[in-house]
Amino acid sequence: MLDAPLTRGATTIGIGATGGLAFFLLNLPLPWVLGSLSASALVTQFSRFRPSLPPAWRSYAMVAIGTMLGTGFTPDVIARSGTWAVSLIVMTLLSIAFCLFAYATFRRWSDMNRQTALFAAMPGGLSVVTMLAEQHKTEVNRVVLCHTARLVVLLISAPLLIQWISGIDLADANRAAFEAPEALDLSGHGALALVAVASWFVAKLVRFPSVMLLLPLLSSAILHATGLVTVHVPITLSIIAQIVIGSGVGARFANYTFRQIARDGWLAALVGIVFAAGSLAGAYLIAPLAGGEVAPLFLAYLPGGAPELGVVALALMIDPAMVAAHHVLRVFLIVALLPYTAGRVSKRDSIIS
């Protein structure tokens, strides 16, 4: 019965929602993401059930998150977007440095070949990285495990470090959205829903990595930047999207044994810790020059998944538009540079062999 994709997906969401609710009641950080992630991951290792979600469900969540991130591009935010130039350059340089460090680490301390180490070292962009990894001589499972383990470290460390540097009360942040929910605006919410559905339909026809996130983000941003729409995505849909994202990350561990996780996971987690420390240091150094605050810069520099870290910015209301802009640029850089770099590495391996 549980083998049916829809039934398995619904059960996975139920497990994730239970974990999210438990984290919420315990006032733990990012409850709907980390709680669902933890519950899903634990089930993969301590039961015979293998959580998984139909691919379309993640697409729906990506559309919702992209739409939510787009609501942050208000006219005021657009007016100050010119001040992001320095920060965007720093993010690019940091991403390159992070990638080189991770590549050297995986080559030195694991038995990965050059191709696998390169793809495992990419600072985010898991969807495009996985797609391209399947076209090269890589161990795709190891690439996905390294990205997942590193992302888990970043998702756990981000809210704790943000609480430390900014004094945000995470328990208050968890409940803030429920205290004054936005009233339903039939015209505003209707227009936002229509644009989100249209973006999803167009995105299905476009073959481009992360388009399910980027196109709704752009469409929603245009609506809000022009002032045509000012409403936000309802909190219930936001929570469901977070549960889908968290449960999906946790479900990836179903493909691995403890031995496999121990082999590569610890090294990827260590890389994640270095990434978090480097991002925090970069944020502190650049904040005075860029005229920004440390917390949003830290989230912008963290080399993780755009949807997952975008959710962190949304949940804690830390300049989601600015954070999204940095992560979108990182995705485009990976799309532009990874195929060329992988080709060079592959050519070098052919010459050596």
Distances (CA, A) of 148 to 141, 238, 253: 10, 22, 8
Half-sphere exposure of 243 (CA within 13 A, CB side): 23
Buried-exposed string 81-94: b where 16+ CB fall within 10 A, e elsewhere = eeebeebbebbeeb
User: Which two structure tokens, joined as six digits, stand for 293?
Assistant: 């605050």
pLDDT bracket for residue 176 (50, 70, 90): low
Q: What's the pLDDT at 278?
A: 97
Report the pLDDT value the prediction gives residue 347, as an integer from 0 to 100.
67
Length of the chain: 353
Question: What average pLDDT does the segment 162-169 reach?
Answer: 82
175 pLDDT band, cuts 50/70/90, is confident
Distance, CA of 289 to CA of 298 (rounded, Å) = 14
pLDDT of residue 2: 59
Q: Residue 345 pLDDT more than 80? A: no
| Residue among 260, 304, 306, 281 at smallest CA distance from 102 | 304
Residue with tokens 């000012």: 230
3 pLDDT tier (thresholds 50, 70, 90): low
Containing H/E element for 64? helix 55-70
What does pTM read for this prediction? Answer: 0.87
The residue type of 252 is R
The predicted-structure confidence for 114-132, as pLDDT tens digits, reads as follows 999 999 999 988 877 887 8
Q: Alpha-carbon torsion 233, 236, 239, 245, what sign?
A: negative
Nearest to 108 by CA among 352, 271, 277: 271
CA 125 – CA 331 distance, rounded (Å):
6
- Is residue 352 predicted with pLDDT exceeding 60? no
Position 154: which residue type?
A: L
- pLDDT, one tens digit per residue, over 250-304 is 998 988 888 888 888 999 999 999 999 999 999 999 999 887 899 999 999 999 8
Q: Which of 115-119, 141-145, 281-285, 348-352 has the lowest mean pLDDT?
A: 348-352
**Section 12-38 average pLDDT:** 93
The number of angstroms, rounded, from the C-alpha of 221 to the middle of its chain's C-alpha atoms is: 19
